[in-house]
Amino acid sequence: MLQIQNLYKVFNKNTVNENVVFNKLNLTVNKGDYITIIGSNGAGKSTLLNIISGTIPVDGGMIMLGDKEISKLPEHKCTKFIGRVFQDPTKGTAPSMTILENMSMAYNKGKKFDLSFAVNKKDIPYFKELLSSLELGLEDKLYTQVGLLSGGQRQALSLIMTVMGNPEILLLDEHTAALDPKTSEKIIELTENIIKEKSITTLMVTHNLNHAIRLGNRLIMLHHGNVILDISGKEKKELTIEKLFKLFENNSEDDLISDRALFS
């Protein structure tokens, strides 16, 4: 279980541009939750993932993952139990290295090994099996540099590499936003299969309302750094875009925000 308690985060403190993103935010993520997160630009969606993953420090409050406090852990230590896939397909892989070398590095993450022997030929059948499940033909391109792959192929590889270490938490930061619609749906299908197979607790930021409503067991809407909607169970299953907008209108004091601005 992931617990966020009284989270406080401010940028440009004590300046004219001071921006308090979170002021005592509280959120409990249960083990096995698959949560889709929506909200307007500046609502704090990506900042929340950055804080959980240790990319940016907290200014107050506490984050607990099980019995571990991770609030003050640097990013490289958080990667032992937190996996993340970014919006930009180029961020999750090393472009100058081959698929085989990338997968070998991911497979050996956290282990002690000599870089000159990072690729173990005994692992190749396992890597091919994983790649074959993608149905993108990557199992036949083990020695191809990752920089030569398409965005969709690279994002699929990033996802596979991220879950190879069986993270306790998977963070998906608009990981299909940079892809064409057809490829996006392929990656979403792959994501669904992996999360279901491994039962990984997942937080997925998205601007795609159809994905937000259709995927996962729980939907959270952030607005001005606050959770203004938290929908699960039967209510989540029966949710529609029209119902979602109505719920937002009933829970928001900001009458000026437009539907387009909310999810742009």
Q: What is the pLDDT of residue 255?
A: 47
Q: What is the pLDDT of residue 107?
A: 87
Q: What is the pLDDT of residue 111?
A: 64
Tell me whether residue 82 is in a domain.
yes
* Mean pLDDT score, 116-121: 68
Ordered alpha helix ranges (H), the chain: 45-52, 75-78, 99-107, 124-132, 151-163, 181-198, 209-214, 233-237, 241-251, 259-262
Tell me whether residue 131 is in a domain.
no
- The separation between CA 188 and the C-alpha centre of its own chain, rounded to angstroms, equals 12
Q: What is the pLDDT of residue 168?
A: 95
Q: Name the pTM for this structure.
A: 0.90
pLDDT above 60 for 256: no
Q: What CATH number is associated with residue 199?
A: 3.40.50.300
Instruction: State the total domains in the chain.
Output: 1
Tell me whether residue 132 is in a domain.
no
Tell me whether residue 125 is in a domain.
no
Residue 202, domain extent: 2-93+170-262
Tell me whether residue 109 is in a domain.
no
Residue type, 140: D
Strand 2-11 to 60-65 pairing: antiparallel
End-to-end CA distance of the chain: 31
* Cα 175 to Cα 177: distance, rounded to the nearest angstrom: 6
Tell me whether residue 225 is in a domain.
yes
Ordered alpha helix ranges (H), 89-150: 99-107, 124-132
Q: What is the pLDDT of residues 35-73, one digit of tens each?
A: 999 998 889 999 999 999 999 999 999 999 999 999 989
Tell me whether residue 108 is in a domain.
no
Q: DSSP assignment, residue 238?
A: T
Residues 6+ away with beta carbon under 8 Å from 256 = none
pLDDT above 70 for 254: no
Tell me whether residue 214 is in a domain.
yes
